[in-house]
Structure 1
């Protein structure tokens, strides 16, 4: 979980820098895929920290919601199994 969140955070940094330099960007589909696979907290923190994708309604609604779901599922699984 930690690794995929770090990757999501770094992807947001790279995409922000790429946008500033007008070079090839990371597709939004890739960012959403990493968020869906468990990296939503990293992508969300990257959004806030780098102020990236904050004007995109899909990011501002979906990523925080997905982060909340992942946190709830994590604590549910943690409390159920341990």
Structure 2
């Protein structure tokens, strides 16, 4: 398994966990993960994991930047992965 694919799995797992954890913190009125940290994880390749967490946990779905930006970034991440991995 190429290292890029392993990195992609890892960063998306982390992005999902962080986004889901932020939802739990929001419900408990606790200190939250900054939006910039969430975007950094997404920009590092974790946008598909972040988007999946948004959908399954119903988190940040009313924020236009997340609602529209995260899916676009997720598609870009998947296309880049496909190009690097030789799928496309």
**Shared fold (TM-score greater than 0.5)?**
yes
Gaps of 5+ in 2: 1-7
Root-mean-square deviation (CA), in Å? 1.0
- Which residue does the alignment assign to 1:69? 76
**How many corresponding residue pairs?**
80
- SS of 1:58's partner is helix
Q: 1:44 aligns with which of 40, 43, 51?
A: 51
Cα distance, 1:12 vs structure 2? 1.1
Q: Distance in 1 between matches of 2:56 and 2:33?
A: 18
Calculate the TM-score normalised by the size of structure 2. 0.87
4+ residue segments displaced more than 6 Å:
none
